[in-house]
Protein backbone atom coordinates (compact mmCIF):
# COMPACT_ATOMS: atom_id res chain seq x y z
CA UNK A 1 0.00 0.00 0.00
CA UNK A 2 1.15 3.52 -0.79
CA UNK A 3 1.67 6.37 1.69
CA UNK A 4 -0.13 9.67 1.08
CA UNK A 5 0.78 13.35 1.58
CA UNK A 6 -1.91 16.06 1.27
CA UNK A 7 -1.40 19.53 -0.19
CA UNK A 8 -4.00 22.26 -0.69
CA UNK A 9 -3.58 24.27 -3.89
CA UNK A 10 -3.00 27.98 -3.14
CA UNK A 11 -2.83 31.09 -5.30
CA UNK A 12 0.96 31.10 -5.43
CA UNK A 13 0.99 27.59 -6.96
CA UNK A 14 -0.93 28.76 -10.04
CA UNK A 15 0.10 30.14 -13.41
CA UNK A 16 -1.80 32.70 -15.43
CA UNK A 17 -4.28 30.07 -16.67
CA UNK A 18 -5.21 29.38 -13.04
CA UNK A 19 -3.54 25.94 -13.12
CA UNK A 20 -0.78 24.51 -10.99
CA UNK A 21 2.51 25.10 -12.83
CA UNK A 22 4.51 22.16 -14.28
CA UNK A 23 7.61 22.77 -12.19
CA UNK A 24 5.56 23.09 -9.00
CA UNK A 25 4.31 19.51 -9.36
CA UNK A 26 7.91 18.33 -9.05
CA UNK A 27 8.05 20.06 -5.66
CA UNK A 28 4.84 18.30 -4.62
CA UNK A 29 6.38 14.96 -5.60
CA UNK A 30 9.59 15.83 -3.72
CA UNK A 31 7.61 16.87 -0.63
CA UNK A 32 5.88 13.46 -0.64
CA UNK A 33 9.18 11.59 -0.99
CA UNK A 34 10.77 13.55 1.89
CA UNK A 35 7.71 12.94 4.08
CA UNK A 36 7.99 9.22 3.44
CA UNK A 37 11.72 8.97 4.14
CA UNK A 38 11.28 11.16 7.21
CA UNK A 39 8.34 9.31 8.76
CA UNK A 40 10.03 5.94 8.29
CA UNK A 41 13.05 7.12 10.30
CA UNK A 42 15.12 6.68 7.17
CA UNK A 43 16.37 10.27 7.00
CA UNK A 44 18.45 9.92 10.17
CA UNK A 45 19.92 6.62 9.01
CA UNK A 46 20.76 7.98 5.53
CA UNK A 47 22.49 11.03 7.04
CA UNK A 48 24.43 8.94 9.54
CA UNK A 49 25.58 6.51 6.80
CA UNK A 50 26.44 9.50 4.55
CA UNK A 51 24.14 8.23 1.82
CA UNK A 52 22.10 10.37 -0.53
CA UNK A 53 19.34 9.55 -2.97
CA UNK A 54 20.05 10.96 -6.43
CA UNK A 55 17.26 11.36 -8.99
CA UNK A 56 18.33 10.26 -12.48
CA UNK A 57 15.03 10.57 -14.35
CA UNK A 58 11.51 11.92 -13.90
CA UNK A 59 8.81 10.95 -16.37
CA UNK A 60 5.66 12.89 -15.45
CA UNK A 61 2.31 12.77 -17.27
CA UNK A 62 -0.07 15.67 -16.67
CA UNK A 63 -3.62 14.26 -16.83
CA UNK A 64 -5.94 17.00 -15.57
CA UNK A 65 -5.30 20.55 -14.35
CA UNK A 66 -5.49 21.25 -10.62
CA UNK A 67 -6.73 24.64 -9.50
CA UNK A 68 -7.28 26.92 -6.48
CA UNK A 69 -8.65 25.18 -3.44
CA UNK A 70 -8.23 21.62 -4.76
CA UNK A 71 -6.94 19.30 -2.07
CA UNK A 72 -4.42 16.95 -3.62
CA UNK A 73 -2.97 13.77 -2.22
CA UNK A 74 0.30 12.32 -3.43
CA UNK A 75 0.70 8.54 -3.29
CA UNK A 76 4.24 7.20 -3.34
CA UNK A 77 5.35 3.58 -3.68
CA UNK A 78 8.43 1.65 -4.77
CA UNK A 79 7.64 0.22 -8.20
CA UNK A 80 10.95 -1.48 -8.89
CA UNK A 81 14.20 -2.10 -7.05
CA UNK A 82 17.04 -3.10 -9.38
CA UNK A 83 20.71 -3.75 -8.67
CA UNK A 84 21.79 -0.13 -8.62
CA UNK A 85 18.68 1.75 -9.66
CA UNK A 86 15.16 1.94 -8.31
CA UNK A 87 11.93 3.43 -9.63
CA UNK A 88 9.40 5.18 -7.41
CA UNK A 89 5.87 5.52 -8.76
CA UNK A 90 3.94 8.59 -7.64
CA UNK A 91 0.37 9.63 -8.30
CA UNK A 92 -1.24 12.99 -7.57
CA UNK A 93 -5.01 12.72 -7.06
CA UNK A 94 -7.81 15.09 -6.10
CA UNK A 95 -9.11 14.06 -2.70
CA UNK A 96 -12.74 14.97 -3.49
CA UNK A 97 -13.22 12.79 -6.57
CA UNK A 98 -10.13 10.50 -6.62
CA UNK A 99 -9.33 11.64 -10.18
CA UNK A 100 -5.67 11.47 -11.22
CA UNK A 101 -4.10 14.90 -11.82
CA UNK A 102 -0.62 13.62 -12.66
CA UNK A 103 1.47 10.50 -12.37
CA UNK A 104 5.20 10.06 -12.47
CA UNK A 105 7.97 7.47 -12.52
CA UNK A 106 11.00 8.70 -10.63
CA UNK A 107 14.24 6.78 -11.15
CA UNK A 108 16.97 7.04 -8.53
CA UNK A 109 20.33 5.73 -7.43
CA UNK A 110 21.97 5.94 -4.00
CA UNK A 111 25.44 7.44 -3.64
CA UNK A 112 27.87 7.55 -0.74
CA UNK A 113 29.75 10.73 0.26
CA UNK A 114 33.21 9.25 -0.35
CA UNK A 115 32.64 6.14 -2.56
CA UNK A 116 32.40 6.76 -6.32
CA UNK A 117 29.51 5.29 -8.32
CA UNK A 118 26.05 4.06 -7.39
CA UNK A 119 25.65 1.82 -4.31
CA UNK A 120 24.13 -1.67 -4.74
CA UNK A 121 20.54 -1.52 -3.46
CA UNK A 122 20.93 -4.55 -1.21
CA UNK A 123 21.56 -5.43 2.44
CA UNK A 124 20.32 -2.91 5.00
CA UNK A 125 20.02 -0.22 2.31
CA UNK A 126 17.76 -2.42 0.16
CA UNK A 127 15.70 -3.49 3.16
CA UNK A 128 15.17 0.12 4.29
CA UNK A 129 14.20 1.28 0.79
CA UNK A 130 11.64 -1.52 0.60
CA UNK A 131 10.19 -0.87 4.03
CA UNK A 132 10.08 2.85 3.35
CA UNK A 133 7.94 2.57 0.31
CA UNK A 134 6.07 -0.65 0.84
CA UNK A 135 7.19 -2.72 -2.14
CA UNK B 1 19.28 23.41 -36.22
CA UNK B 2 18.20 24.11 -32.68
CA UNK B 3 17.90 27.49 -30.99
CA UNK B 4 19.82 28.13 -27.76
CA UNK B 5 19.12 30.03 -24.53
CA UNK B 6 21.91 30.67 -22.01
CA UNK B 7 21.53 30.68 -18.22
CA UNK B 8 24.24 31.17 -15.60
CA UNK B 9 23.81 29.02 -12.50
CA UNK B 10 23.44 31.18 -9.36
CA UNK B 11 23.34 30.40 -5.64
CA UNK B 12 19.55 30.47 -5.47
CA UNK B 13 19.30 27.71 -8.11
CA UNK B 14 21.17 25.23 -5.89
CA UNK B 15 20.10 22.73 -3.29
CA UNK B 16 22.08 21.77 -0.20
CA UNK B 17 24.38 19.49 -2.23
CA UNK B 18 25.38 22.51 -4.29
CA UNK B 19 23.57 21.19 -7.38
CA UNK B 20 20.80 22.71 -9.44
CA UNK B 21 17.50 21.40 -8.07
CA UNK B 22 15.32 19.03 -10.16
CA UNK B 23 12.32 21.34 -10.30
CA UNK B 24 14.49 24.31 -11.32
CA UNK B 25 15.55 22.53 -14.53
CA UNK B 26 11.90 22.53 -15.61
CA UNK B 27 11.94 26.33 -15.33
CA UNK B 28 15.11 26.46 -17.45
CA UNK B 29 13.37 24.33 -20.11
CA UNK B 30 10.28 26.54 -19.94
CA UNK B 31 12.41 29.70 -20.24
CA UNK B 32 13.97 28.29 -23.42
CA UNK B 33 10.57 27.40 -24.90
CA UNK B 34 9.18 30.89 -24.18
CA UNK B 35 12.26 32.51 -25.67
CA UNK B 36 11.79 30.51 -28.85
CA UNK B 37 8.09 31.23 -29.24
CA UNK B 38 8.73 34.87 -28.44
CA UNK B 39 11.63 35.43 -30.86
CA UNK B 40 9.76 33.77 -33.70
CA UNK B 41 6.89 36.24 -33.29
CA UNK B 42 4.67 33.27 -32.42
CA UNK B 43 3.60 34.60 -29.00
CA UNK B 44 1.62 37.46 -30.51
CA UNK B 45 -0.04 35.20 -33.05
CA UNK B 46 -0.94 32.57 -30.41
CA UNK B 47 -2.45 35.21 -28.13
CA UNK B 48 -4.42 36.80 -30.96
CA UNK B 49 -5.76 33.40 -32.11
CA UNK B 50 -6.56 32.54 -28.46
CA UNK B 51 -4.42 29.42 -28.64
CA UNK B 52 -2.35 27.98 -25.81
CA UNK B 53 0.29 25.29 -25.70
CA UNK B 54 -0.49 22.67 -23.04
CA UNK B 55 2.24 20.33 -21.75
CA UNK B 56 1.01 16.75 -21.37
CA UNK B 57 4.26 14.98 -20.45
CA UNK B 58 7.84 15.76 -19.50
CA UNK B 59 10.42 12.98 -19.52
CA UNK B 60 13.68 14.42 -18.21
CA UNK B 61 16.96 12.53 -17.70
CA UNK B 62 19.50 14.11 -15.36
CA UNK B 63 22.97 13.25 -16.70
CA UNK B 64 25.46 15.34 -14.73
CA UNK B 65 25.02 17.86 -11.92
CA UNK B 66 25.37 21.57 -12.72
CA UNK B 67 26.78 23.85 -10.08
CA UNK B 68 27.54 27.49 -9.18
CA UNK B 69 28.95 29.55 -12.00
CA UNK B 70 28.29 26.98 -14.75
CA UNK B 71 26.99 28.62 -17.89
CA UNK B 72 24.30 26.40 -19.38
CA UNK B 73 22.76 26.53 -22.82
CA UNK B 74 19.39 25.00 -23.58
CA UNK B 75 18.82 23.69 -27.09
CA UNK B 76 15.22 23.29 -28.20
CA UNK B 77 13.94 21.64 -31.35
CA UNK B 78 10.73 20.02 -32.60
CA UNK B 79 11.32 16.28 -32.62
CA UNK B 80 7.92 15.14 -33.81
CA UNK B 81 4.72 16.77 -35.00
CA UNK B 82 1.75 14.38 -34.89
CA UNK B 83 -1.92 14.94 -35.67
CA UNK B 84 -2.81 16.45 -32.34
CA UNK B 85 0.34 16.07 -30.28
CA UNK B 86 3.91 17.22 -30.73
CA UNK B 87 7.16 16.41 -28.98
CA UNK B 88 9.84 19.01 -28.29
CA UNK B 89 13.33 17.73 -27.57
CA UNK B 90 15.45 19.87 -25.25
CA UNK B 91 19.06 19.47 -24.15
CA UNK B 92 20.84 21.38 -21.40
CA UNK B 93 24.60 21.56 -21.96
CA UNK B 94 27.53 23.23 -20.24
CA UNK B 95 28.89 25.91 -22.54
CA UNK B 96 32.53 25.37 -21.51
CA UNK B 97 32.81 21.66 -22.33
CA UNK B 98 29.62 20.87 -24.33
CA UNK B 99 28.75 18.07 -21.86
CA UNK B 100 25.06 17.22 -21.51
CA UNK B 101 23.65 18.08 -18.07
CA UNK B 102 20.08 16.96 -18.80
CA UNK B 103 17.85 16.12 -21.73
CA UNK B 104 14.10 16.05 -21.97
CA UNK B 105 11.21 15.12 -24.25
CA UNK B 106 8.31 17.49 -23.76
CA UNK B 107 4.96 16.43 -25.21
CA UNK B 108 2.34 19.07 -25.92
CA UNK B 109 -1.04 19.74 -27.44
CA UNK B 110 -2.55 23.07 -28.53
CA UNK B 111 -5.92 24.15 -27.20
CA UNK B 112 -8.26 26.99 -28.14
CA UNK B 113 -9.94 29.22 -25.55
CA UNK B 114 -13.49 28.26 -26.56
CA UNK B 115 -13.14 25.01 -28.58
CA UNK B 116 -13.01 21.77 -26.56
CA UNK B 117 -10.26 19.21 -27.21
CA UNK B 118 -6.84 19.42 -28.83
CA UNK B 119 -6.43 21.35 -32.10
CA UNK B 120 -5.12 19.53 -35.20
CA UNK B 121 -1.47 20.59 -35.68
CA UNK B 122 -1.92 21.51 -39.33
CA UNK B 123 -2.48 24.57 -41.56
CA UNK B 124 -1.03 27.84 -40.26
CA UNK B 125 -0.69 26.39 -36.73
CA UNK B 126 1.38 23.45 -37.99
CA UNK B 127 3.49 25.68 -40.20
CA UNK B 128 4.22 28.10 -37.35
CA UNK B 129 5.14 25.29 -34.97
CA UNK B 130 7.55 23.89 -37.53
CA UNK B 131 9.15 27.23 -38.32
CA UNK B 132 9.42 28.02 -34.63
CA UNK B 133 11.44 25.01 -33.79
CA UNK B 134 13.20 24.13 -36.99
CA UNK B 135 11.86 20.64 -37.70
CA UNK C 1 -4.68 35.75 19.31
CA UNK C 2 -2.92 34.78 16.13
CA UNK C 3 -3.63 31.76 13.91
CA UNK C 4 -0.80 29.32 13.15
CA UNK C 5 0.24 27.29 10.08
CA UNK C 6 2.92 24.60 10.39
CA UNK C 7 5.53 23.73 7.75
CA UNK C 8 8.33 21.19 7.97
CA UNK C 9 11.58 22.27 6.31
CA UNK C 10 12.56 19.89 3.48
CA UNK C 11 15.66 19.52 1.33
CA UNK C 12 14.17 21.45 -1.59
CA UNK C 13 13.60 24.51 0.63
CA UNK C 14 17.33 24.88 1.32
CA UNK C 15 20.14 26.75 -0.39
CA UNK C 16 23.74 25.61 -0.61
CA UNK C 17 24.44 26.75 2.96
CA UNK C 18 21.74 24.35 4.16
CA UNK C 19 19.43 27.24 5.11
CA UNK C 20 15.93 28.07 3.94
CA UNK C 21 16.24 30.51 1.02
CA UNK C 22 15.07 34.15 1.37
CA UNK C 23 12.47 33.95 -1.37
CA UNK C 24 11.03 30.69 0.03
CA UNK C 25 10.10 32.44 3.29
CA UNK C 26 7.77 34.68 1.29
CA UNK C 27 5.96 31.55 0.11
CA UNK C 28 5.67 30.35 3.72
CA UNK C 29 4.12 33.70 4.68
CA UNK C 30 1.77 33.54 1.70
CA UNK C 31 0.76 29.97 2.57
CA UNK C 32 -0.17 31.14 6.09
CA UNK C 33 -2.21 34.08 4.76
CA UNK C 34 -4.13 31.85 2.32
CA UNK C 35 -4.80 29.30 5.07
CA UNK C 36 -6.25 32.03 7.25
CA UNK C 37 -8.47 33.54 4.57
CA UNK C 38 -9.56 30.06 3.53
CA UNK C 39 -10.41 28.72 6.99
CA UNK C 40 -12.41 31.83 7.88
CA UNK C 41 -14.63 31.28 4.84
CA UNK C 42 -13.33 34.58 3.48
CA UNK C 43 -12.01 33.19 0.22
CA UNK C 44 -15.47 32.36 -1.09
CA UNK C 45 -16.82 35.76 -0.10
CA UNK C 46 -13.86 37.61 -1.66
CA UNK C 47 -14.25 35.69 -4.93
CA UNK C 48 -18.00 36.25 -5.04
CA UNK C 49 -17.59 40.01 -4.38
CA UNK C 50 -14.78 40.12 -7.01
CA UNK C 51 -12.35 41.52 -4.46
CA UNK C 52 -8.63 40.77 -4.33
CA UNK C 53 -6.01 41.50 -1.71
CA UNK C 54 -2.96 43.25 -3.21
CA UNK C 55 0.37 43.31 -1.35
CA UNK C 56 2.06 46.74 -1.50
CA UNK C 57 5.03 46.13 0.79
CA UNK C 58 6.82 43.33 2.62
CA UNK C 59 9.37 44.19 5.30
CA UNK C 60 10.94 40.92 6.45
CA UNK C 61 13.69 40.54 9.07
CA UNK C 62 15.64 37.27 9.04
CA UNK C 63 16.59 36.50 12.66
CA UNK C 64 17.96 32.95 12.70
CA UNK C 65 18.48 30.38 9.94
CA UNK C 66 16.05 27.45 9.67
CA UNK C 67 17.38 24.14 8.43
CA UNK C 68 16.40 20.59 7.41
CA UNK C 69 13.83 18.96 9.63
CA UNK C 70 12.91 22.12 11.56
CA UNK C 71 9.17 22.38 12.12
CA UNK C 72 8.15 26.00 11.68
CA UNK C 73 4.91 27.67 12.65
CA UNK C 74 3.76 30.89 11.06
CA UNK C 75 1.64 33.23 13.20
CA UNK C 76 -0.47 35.77 11.36
CA UNK C 77 -2.45 38.66 12.83
CA UNK C 78 -3.85 41.99 11.70
CA UNK C 79 -1.59 44.67 13.19
CA UNK C 80 -3.30 47.73 11.74
CA UNK C 81 -6.38 48.48 9.68
CA UNK C 82 -6.28 51.96 8.12
CA UNK C 83 -8.71 53.67 5.75
CA UNK C 84 -7.44 52.04 2.60
CA UNK C 85 -4.41 50.08 3.74
CA UNK C 86 -3.86 47.38 6.32
CA UNK C 87 -0.76 45.79 7.82
CA UNK C 88 -0.53 42.09 8.65
CA UNK C 89 2.17 41.05 11.12
CA UNK C 90 3.61 37.57 10.64
CA UNK C 91 6.14 35.66 12.70
CA UNK C 92 7.89 32.41 11.76
CA UNK C 93 8.97 30.42 14.85
CA UNK C 94 10.57 27.04 15.45
CA UNK C 95 8.03 24.81 17.15
CA UNK C 96 10.59 23.02 19.33
CA UNK C 97 12.11 26.07 21.05
CA UNK C 98 9.71 28.94 20.18
CA UNK C 99 12.64 30.97 18.79
CA UNK C 100 11.81 33.52 16.09
CA UNK C 101 13.27 32.64 12.68
CA UNK C 102 11.83 35.64 10.84
CA UNK C 103 9.20 38.31 11.24
CA UNK C 104 7.49 40.45 8.67
CA UNK C 105 5.10 43.35 8.22
CA UNK C 106 2.97 42.87 5.13
CA UNK C 107 1.07 45.93 3.87
CA UNK C 108 -1.96 45.41 1.66
CA UNK C 109 -4.87 47.10 -0.05
CA UNK C 110 -8.07 45.56 -1.41
CA UNK C 111 -9.10 46.14 -5.01
CA UNK C 112 -12.29 45.39 -6.92
CA UNK C 113 -12.30 43.78 -10.38
CA UNK C 114 -14.02 46.73 -12.07
CA UNK C 115 -13.63 49.70 -9.66
CA UNK C 116 -10.37 51.66 -9.95
CA UNK C 117 -8.31 52.41 -6.81
CA UNK C 118 -8.15 50.84 -3.35
CA UNK C 119 -11.41 49.97 -1.55
CA UNK C 120 -12.15 51.57 1.85
CA UNK C 121 -11.52 48.91 4.53
CA UNK C 122 -14.88 49.44 6.20
CA UNK C 123 -18.37 47.90 6.33
CA UNK C 124 -18.57 44.16 5.69
CA UNK C 125 -15.08 44.17 4.15
CA UNK C 126 -13.55 45.76 7.27
CA UNK C 127 -15.47 43.44 9.58
CA UNK C 128 -14.37 40.34 7.67
CA UNK C 129 -10.72 41.44 7.62
CA UNK C 130 -10.85 41.98 11.37
CA UNK C 131 -12.53 38.67 12.11
CA UNK C 132 -10.16 36.87 9.78
CA UNK C 133 -7.06 37.95 11.57
CA UNK C 134 -8.21 38.65 15.09
CA UNK C 135 -7.41 42.34 15.47
CA UNK D 1 26.30 54.69 -10.89
CA UNK D 2 24.32 51.52 -10.51
CA UNK D 3 24.79 48.28 -12.47
CA UNK D 4 21.83 46.79 -14.33
CA UNK D 5 20.59 43.24 -14.99
CA UNK D 6 17.79 42.60 -17.50
CA UNK D 7 15.07 39.96 -17.19
CA UNK D 8 12.16 39.32 -19.56
CA UNK D 9 8.91 38.37 -17.82
CA UNK D 10 7.73 34.89 -18.89
CA UNK D 11 4.54 32.91 -18.29
CA UNK D 12 6.03 30.91 -15.42
CA UNK D 13 6.82 34.11 -13.47
CA UNK D 14 3.13 35.05 -13.29
CA UNK D 15 0.36 34.33 -10.82
CA UNK D 16 -3.30 33.87 -11.68
CA UNK D 17 -3.83 37.64 -12.00
CA UNK D 18 -1.20 37.66 -14.74
CA UNK D 19 1.28 39.56 -12.53
CA UNK D 20 4.77 38.64 -11.41
CA UNK D 21 4.47 36.91 -8.02
CA UNK D 22 5.83 38.59 -4.85
CA UNK D 23 8.34 35.86 -4.05
CA UNK D 24 9.64 35.82 -7.64
CA UNK D 25 10.77 39.46 -7.34
CA UNK D 26 13.13 38.37 -4.56
CA UNK D 27 14.76 35.97 -7.03
CA UNK D 28 15.10 38.81 -9.56
CA UNK D 29 16.83 40.93 -6.89
CA UNK D 30 19.08 38.01 -5.94
CA UNK D 31 19.95 37.39 -9.61
CA UNK D 32 21.04 41.04 -9.91
CA UNK D 33 23.18 40.85 -6.76
CA UNK D 34 24.91 37.64 -7.93
CA UNK D 35 25.55 39.16 -11.36
CA UNK D 36 27.21 42.15 -9.71
CA UNK D 37 29.41 40.16 -7.36
CA UNK D 38 30.31 37.81 -10.20
CA UNK D 39 31.21 40.44 -12.81
CA UNK D 40 33.38 42.35 -10.34
CA UNK D 41 35.46 39.24 -9.71
CA UNK D 42 34.28 39.33 -6.11
CA UNK D 43 32.77 35.83 -6.09
CA UNK D 44 36.14 34.13 -6.44
CA UNK D 45 37.67 36.29 -3.71
CA UNK D 46 34.74 35.72 -1.31
CA UNK D 47 34.93 31.94 -1.84
CA UNK D 48 38.71 31.88 -1.38
CA UNK D 49 38.50 33.96 1.83
CA UNK D 50 35.62 31.75 3.04
CA UNK D 51 33.33 34.74 3.41
CA UNK D 52 29.59 34.77 2.78
CA UNK D 53 27.09 37.57 2.49
CA UNK D 54 24.09 37.03 4.78
CA UNK D 55 20.83 38.91 4.21
CA UNK D 56 19.30 40.19 7.47
CA UNK D 57 16.38 42.23 6.12
CA UNK D 58 14.52 42.89 2.88
CA UNK D 59 12.10 45.81 2.70
CA UNK D 60 10.41 45.69 -0.72
CA UNK D 61 7.73 48.07 -2.00
CA UNK D 62 5.64 46.88 -4.94
CA UNK D 63 4.78 49.95 -7.04
CA UNK D 64 3.25 48.65 -10.26
CA UNK D 65 2.52 45.14 -11.54
CA UNK D 66 4.79 43.65 -14.21
CA UNK D 67 3.29 41.29 -16.74
CA UNK D 68 4.06 38.94 -19.65
CA UNK D 69 6.63 40.24 -22.07
CA UNK D 70 7.75 43.20 -19.96
CA UNK D 71 11.50 43.63 -20.04
CA UNK D 72 12.68 44.58 -16.56
CA UNK D 73 16.02 45.96 -15.51
CA UNK D 74 17.28 45.70 -11.95
CA UNK D 75 19.57 48.46 -10.69
CA UNK D 76 21.73 47.64 -7.69
CA UNK D 77 23.89 50.03 -5.66
CA UNK D 78 25.41 50.22 -2.20
CA UNK D 79 23.34 52.73 -0.24
CA UNK D 80 25.12 52.51 3.09
CA UNK D 81 28.17 50.74 4.50
CA UNK D 82 28.18 50.64 8.30
CA UNK D 83 30.60 49.02 10.75
CA UNK D 84 29.15 45.55 10.49
CA UNK D 85 26.06 46.00 8.33
CA UNK D 86 25.47 47.36 4.87
CA UNK D 87 22.37 48.27 2.90
CA UNK D 88 21.99 47.60 -0.82
CA UNK D 89 19.33 49.60 -2.66
CA UNK D 90 17.71 47.88 -5.63
CA UNK D 91 15.16 49.15 -8.13
CA UNK D 92 13.23 47.12 -10.70
CA UNK D 93 12.16 49.22 -13.70
CA UNK D 94 10.44 48.57 -16.99
CA UNK D 95 12.93 49.15 -19.79
CA UNK D 96 10.34 50.58 -22.22
CA UNK D 97 9.05 53.42 -20.04
CA UNK D 98 11.53 53.62 -17.12
CA UNK D 99 8.65 53.25 -14.62
CA UNK D 100 9.52 51.71 -11.24
CA UNK D 101 7.90 48.31 -10.68
CA UNK D 102 9.42 47.70 -7.25
CA UNK D 103 12.18 48.98 -5.03
CA UNK D 104 13.92 47.36 -2.10
CA UNK D 105 16.42 47.97 0.67
CA UNK D 106 18.42 44.83 1.36
CA UNK D 107 20.43 44.77 4.62
CA UNK D 108 23.34 42.38 4.91
CA UNK D 109 26.28 41.33 7.05
CA UNK D 110 29.36 39.33 6.07
CA UNK D 111 30.30 36.20 7.98
CA UNK D 112 33.39 33.98 7.92
CA UNK D 113 33.19 30.18 7.78
CA UNK D 114 34.99 29.67 11.11
CA UNK D 115 34.80 33.05 12.92
CA UNK D 116 31.61 33.70 14.92
CA UNK D 117 29.73 36.98 14.48
CA UNK D 118 29.61 39.56 11.70
CA UNK D 119 32.88 40.72 10.09
CA UNK D 120 33.81 44.44 10.23
CA UNK D 121 33.16 45.90 6.76
CA UNK D 122 36.60 47.49 6.48
CA UNK D 123 40.02 46.85 4.92
CA UNK D 124 40.01 44.81 1.71
CA UNK D 125 36.47 43.56 2.42
CA UNK D 126 35.13 47.11 2.71
CA UNK D 127 37.02 48.24 -0.36
CA UNK D 128 35.71 45.33 -2.46
CA UNK D 129 32.12 45.89 -1.32
CA UNK D 130 32.39 49.56 -2.30
CA UNK D 131 33.95 48.86 -5.69
CA UNK D 132 31.42 46.14 -6.36
CA UNK D 133 28.45 48.37 -5.98
CA UNK D 134 29.77 51.81 -6.78
CA UNK D 135 29.18 53.68 -3.52
Handedness of CA B121, B124, B130, B133 (dihedral sign): negative
- D8 contacts B27? CB cut-off 8 A: no
Probe site for chain C from A11, A27, A68 (most C CB atoms < 10 A): A11
What is the pTM (predicted TM-score) of this model? Answer: 0.90
Contact predicate D27/B12, CB 8 Å: yes
Distance CA A4, CA B46 (A): 39
Phi/psi region, residue B18 (left: phi>0; alpha: psi -120 to 50; beta: rest), is: left
With 60 as the cut, is the pLDDT of residue D98 above it? yes
Residue B67 maps to which CATH number? 3.10.129.10
Q: What pLDDT does B37 receive?
A: 85
B16 interaction partners in chain C (CB closer than 8 Å) = 11, 14-18, 68
Please indicate whether, in this complex, the C-beta atoms of D61 and C57 are within 8 angstroms of each other.
yes
D15 included as an active-site residue? yes
DSSP β-ladder status, B100-112 and B86-94: antiparallel
Q: C81-132 pLDDT, tens per residue?
A: 999 999 999 999 999 999 999 999 999 999 998 888 999 999 999 988 888 7
Output the CA–CA distances (angstroms, integers) from residue D61 to C60, D22, D28, in the order listed: 12, 10, 14
C61–D57 CB contact, under 8 Å: yes
B129, B78 Cβ separation under 8 angstroms: yes
**Which of B10, B31, B69 lies closest to D31 in CB terms?**
B10
B6 to chain D, minimum CA–CA distance in Å? 13
Residues in a beta bridge with D62: D102
The complex scores an ipTM of: 0.92
What is the per-residue pLDDT across A21-57, written as a single tens digit (0 to 9) for each? Answer: 899 999 999 999 988 888 877 888 888 999 989 999 9
Domain count, chain D: 1
CB-based contact B62 A52, cutoff 8 Å: no
Contacts of D109 (CB under 8 A, 6+ apart): D53, D54, D56, D84, D85, D86, D118, D119
Q: How confident is the model at residue C44 (pLDDT cuts 50, 70, 90)?
A: confident
What confidence category does residue B3 fall into, taking pLDDT thresholds of 50, 70 and 90? low
Torsion of CA D38, D31, D3, D20, to 10 degrees: 170
Residues of D with CB below 8 A from B35's CB?
Answer: 8
Which of the following is catalytic: A15, A38, A59, A96?
A15
First to last CA, chain A: 8
Question: What's the confidence (pLDDT) of residue A61?
Answer: 98
Q: Do B55 and A17 touch (CB under 8 A)?
A: no
Highest mean pLDDT among D103-107, D124-128, D130-134: D103-107
Could you tell me the residue range of the domain that residue A53 belongs to?
3-133
Mean pLDDT (chain B) is: 90
Closest CB to D57: pick one of C30, C56, C60: C60
Contact D38 B8 (CB under 8 A): yes
**pLDDT tens readout for residues D17-74:** 889 989 999 999 999 998 888 887 788 888 899 998 999 999 999 999 999 889 999 9
In angstroms, the separation between the Cα of residue B34 and the nearest Cα of chain D is 7
Amino acid sequence: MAQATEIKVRGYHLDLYGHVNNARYLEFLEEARWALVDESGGLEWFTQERLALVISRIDIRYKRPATMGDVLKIETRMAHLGEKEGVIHQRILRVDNEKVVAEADVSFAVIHATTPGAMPLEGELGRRLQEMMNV
